[in-house]
Amino acid sequence: MKEKITGAEALMRSLEAEGVDVLFGYPGGAIMPTYDALYDHRKTLHHILVRHEQGAAHAAQGYARVSGRVGVVIATSGPGAMNTITGIADAMIDSTPMVVICGQVGAAMLGTDAFQEVDVIGVTQPITKWAFQIRKAEDVAWAVSRAFYIAKSGRPGPVVLDFAKNAQTGLVEYEPAKVDFIRSYRPVPVPTDETIREAADLINKAERPLVLVGQGVELGDAREELRQFIEKADMPAGCTLLGLSALPSDHPLNVGMLGMHGNLAPNVMTNRCDLLIAVGMRFDDRVTGNLDTYAKQAKVIHFDIDPSEINKNVSVDVAVVGDCKATLARVTALMKEQRHTAWIEGFRPYWDKEREMVIERAIHPTEGPLLMGEVVRAVSDATQKRAIMVTDVGQNQMFGCRYFQYTQGRSVVTSGGCGTMGFGLPAAIGATFGAPERTVCLFVGDGGLQMTIQELGTIMEQKCPVKIILLNNNFLGNVRQWQYLFFNKRYSFTPMLNPDYEGICTAYGIPSRTVVDRKDLAGAIKEMLDTPGAFLLQVAVKEEDNVLPMTPPGANVDEMMLEIK
């Protein structure tokens, strides 16, 4: 007779079978049998004790985004599970593979309003790829394998396993399970040869093509295929916020960042091109602005793995639904070599204008208080464009994404679709585990840092080498900018009284330094990078600085403000 083990032990063996090596979690009543089993597996399953379950979810996201592997979260029932919700929603909209395992009351007590019982499946169903309640130990192996398969295949996303206490303690003859097929789920559609030919024909005929590069290129591990695709037909390419490191910043065909705070040239040229080629991006409103005037002159090709993204916001002429690693290569094979020199030259005047009116002022100011943009560029240069940039949300994020530069893929970790303040610090912790060989730089504001500041405790305990650059302007800066622009300068609850951050760092044993003068910046960055382990560099930046250029919400994509009068 086979050995019988508990459901919790079966979970551990299933996680090991999936190749999991890091877990982010926080124990509690309903998940205690699982934590008891984990105690015997702590050599293979490195558990990171966070300080709040939201931190676990964001850390798992950071881990997944830089490594391409599935981030794993463990939390208890009720409040533990609910605290992960923000991270789950964030992972859903940003297509991040994640498995959240949370405790649940015993099956016999389900629905009785038992202690720490919350209808986790009901709550998480709309924000997950799959949510499943494990009610008996026999289901553990199958559910875990199915969860990992769903989380990482096709368009990745979060999965929740709601693990009833009786299923954790119940005994089962463990049989490993391997789910790699679900008949109702087709993760990677394959487009027909005709579709591929139609796409190639449009590209071959185009005189003014523009490629929009999204995170799908990173998720599909298709950076090399993308490079060959754009180089063969000499097509300029703009990147979305999450797609920034899918193409090296200094690639000659990289024409910059798209969107509300992106670069002027690609946004203007979106409404001049004759063919728009979207690759692994979803035409978010922060990219398109007013849809009624968005690229109406152009034919549109949309490469995406998710059929429900096609024609959702922008109607397309050819939809290439599939894995872009394969589809880009297939289309490239049918493409003619082309040169679009004059078209690409046309981007230059807009770049010159933006450089003169915005960029130089942001990254090379000579007087006045320090600016966020110059800090970001200085850190980027000091890390030879090889670091991973994690951002929080707000002005720190926009300046970070505008002025940090990349040479490697999977180098941007930021909360795009959800815009979750408090994402940065825990995501950076996760990134240090996902890419231990790389430098992880976090840009965070004084608002966002305080939303998850308790994770400094995790950094202390785990000795996570996070380089925290706190861009402190004593304001909730992005909201303040909008209040300035659209709410008649009424700064309703955006000024903020700040604590002594260096004092906090001292309490956590994290080295820190504050910079106020421009002349001290370079030295302080060097000190931060030379100090082993974590470091917090607080930079006192201009209080009322604005992110520019800017497409006001709902405005046309080519109507960017370069200055605020």
Partner 1 sequence: MDQNKTTSVNTPCPREGMGKGSAQCGDCDKCGRCDMQYKGETLYTMLIYSENFAGILNQITAVFTRRQVNIESLNVCASSTPGVHKYTITCYCTEEMAKMLTKQMEKKIDVLQAHYFTDDEIFILEACLIKVNTPMILENKDVSRIVRKHGARIVEVNPTYSIIEKKGMTEDILSLFQELNALGVVLQFVRSGRIAVTKSTTERLDKYLEEMERLRDGENR
Q: Which positions lie near partner 1, rule CB under 8 A?
A: 121-122, 125-126, 129-131, 150, 180-186, 306-308, 310-312
**Could you tell me the smallest distance in angstroms from the CB atom of residue 126 to partner 1?**
6
Give phi and psi for 164, each to the nearest 5: -60, 145
- The H or E element spanning position 524 is helix 521-530
Among 285, 501, 473, which Cα is nearest to 395's? 473
Under 8 Å between Cβ of 417 and 364: no
Q: How far is the CB of 182 from partner 1 (least distance, A)?
A: 7
Considering the complex, state which of residue 304 and residue 545 has its C-beta at the smaller distance from partner 1: 304
By C-beta, is 44 or 308 nearer to partner 1? 308
Cis peptide before 436 (omega within 30 of 0): no
Closest approach of partner 1 to the CB of residue 253, in Å: 32
Cβ-based nearer residue to partner 1, 184 or 492: 184
What are the tokens at 562? 């370069």
Q: Does residue 295 sit in helix, strand or coil?
A: coil
When the beta carbons of 183 and 519 are compared against partner 1, the nearer one is: 183
Q: Which is nearer to partner 1, 221 or 306 (CB)?
A: 306
Taking the complex as a whole, the smallest distance from the CB of residue 164 to partner 1 amounts, in Å, to 14
In this structure, are residues 406 and 549 in contact, taking their beta carbons and an 8 Å threshold?
A: no
Among candidate residues 13, 11, 32, 26, the one with its CA nearest the CA of residue 60: 26
Do 284 and 219 meet the contact criterion of CB atoms below 8 Å apart? no
- Nearer to partner 1 (CB atom), residue 12 or residue 131: 131
Q: Residue 32's CB: how many other CB atoms inside 10 A? A: 16
Q: Where are the beta strands (DSSP E) in 407-507?
A: 412-413, 440-445, 466-472
Rounded to the nearest angstrom, the gap between the alpha carbon of residue 71 and the centroid of all alpha carbons in its chain is 13
SS3 257: strand
Q: Which is nearer to partner 1, 297 or 308 (CB)?
A: 308
Residue 194 one-letter amino acid: E
335 three-class SS: coil
**Nearest-approach distance from CB 130 to partner 1, in angstroms:** 5
Say if CB 137 and CB 197 are below 8 A apart.
Answer: no
**Residue whose entry in the numeric block shows the structure tokens 């789910």:** 179
List of residues 6+ apart from 168 with CB closer than 8 A: 6, 7, 8, 11, 31, 33, 34, 37, 103, 137
Report the nearest approach of partner 1 to the CB of residue 205 (Å): 27
**Closer to partner 1 by Cβ: residue 77 or 133:** 133
* Residue 563 to residue 471: CA distance in whole angstroms: 22
Closest approach of partner 1 to the CB of residue 189, in Å: 11
Amino acid at 281: M
Q: Smallest distance from the beta carbon of 251 to partner 1, in angstroms?
A: 33
Nearer to partner 1, 184 or 366 (CB): 184
Shortest distance (Å) from residue 63 CB to partner 1: 23
